[in-house]
């Protein structure tokens, strides 16, 4: 991480968690994760405005999705198997419970739903979607697997009163 560009992300920046956290292990409380996420969003909103802050979360999520895909998923398998592996990884890592609601491979359009989403399940109702990071995460995953550029948009969110976060993923034209 301390190269010429000390802020460029590499998978190795995650470090050796088992070495560094030999007593506490590989888990933490969701509230601690959200504390980091929502305080960061608050600072970005106050410094740059909510639109730019949302774009920054989307881009961060996209980078995370790209790196997650390259390092945790097998991109050399049929799409249905890739999605099954993604579902399994998201469940195992307690990110959320992924359900694929629509697959249109011909037009490269998808609808994905995440229950018990790490970012927002249980938040107060604000009538706004808040999962910009997740949008980018799915765009990054799909982009790496297909080698195409996707636009992902959250259409349902816990903070809007929905019980799942639902995303549409469409090939960018």
Whether residue 129 is contained in a domain is answered as yes
Note the pLDDT tens digit of each residue in 42-92: 999 999 999 999 999 999 999 999 999 999 999 999 999 999 999 999 999
Whether residue 118 is contained in a domain is answered as yes
Check whether 12 has a pLDDT greater than 80.
yes
Task: Give, in degrees to the nearest 5, the angle at Cα 129 between 154 and 136.
Answer: 45
Task: Give, in degrees to the nearest 5, the angle at Cα 99 between 121 and 159.
Answer: 25
Sheet holding 97-104, edge to edge: 97-104, 109-115, 165-171, 150-156
Note the pLDDT tens digit of each residue in 118-140: 999 999 999 999 999 999 999 99
Domain count, the chain: 1
Q: Report phi then psi at 46, rounded to 5.
A: -70, -30
Q: H helices within the chain, ranges in order?
A: 17-20, 30-48, 50-72, 79-92, 132-146
- Domain hosting residue 17, numbered range: 11-171
Whether residue 20 is contained in a domain is answered as yes
The reported pLDDT for the residue numbered 1 is 46
At 59, which CATH number? Answer: 3.30.1380.20
Q: Are 141 and 86 in contact (CB under 8 A)?
A: yes
Continuous segment of H or E residues that includes residue 101: strand 97-104
Range 7-34 average pLDDT:
93
Whether residue 83 is contained in a domain is answered as yes
Check whether 5 has a pLDDT greater than 90.
no
d(CA 23, CA 154): 38
Whether residue 2 is contained in a domain is answered as no
Q: Are 143 and 68 in contact (CB under 8 A)?
A: no
């Amino acid at each position: 991480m301390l190269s010429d560009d000390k802020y460029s992300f590499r998978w190795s920046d995650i470090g050796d968690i088992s070495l560094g956290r030999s007593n506490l292990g590989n888990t933490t409380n969701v509230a601690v994760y959200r504390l980091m996420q929502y305080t960061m969003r608050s600072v970005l909103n106050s410094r740059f405005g909510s639109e730019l802050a949302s774009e920054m979360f989307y881009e961060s999520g996209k980078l995370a999705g790209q790196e997650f895909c390259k390092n945790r998923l097998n991109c050399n398998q049929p799409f249905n198997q890739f999605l099954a592996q993604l579902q399994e990884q998201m469940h195992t890592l307690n990110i959320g419970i992924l359900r694929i609601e629509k697959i249109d491979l011909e037009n490269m359009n998808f609808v994905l739903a995440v229950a018990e989403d790490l970012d927002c399940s249980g938040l107060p109702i604000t009538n706004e979607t808040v999962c910009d990071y997740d949008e980018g995460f799915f765009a990054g995953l799909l982009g790496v697997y297909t080698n195409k550029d996707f636009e992902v948009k959250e259409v349902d969110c816990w903070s809007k009163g929905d019980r799942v976060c639902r995303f549409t993923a469409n090939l960018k034209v």
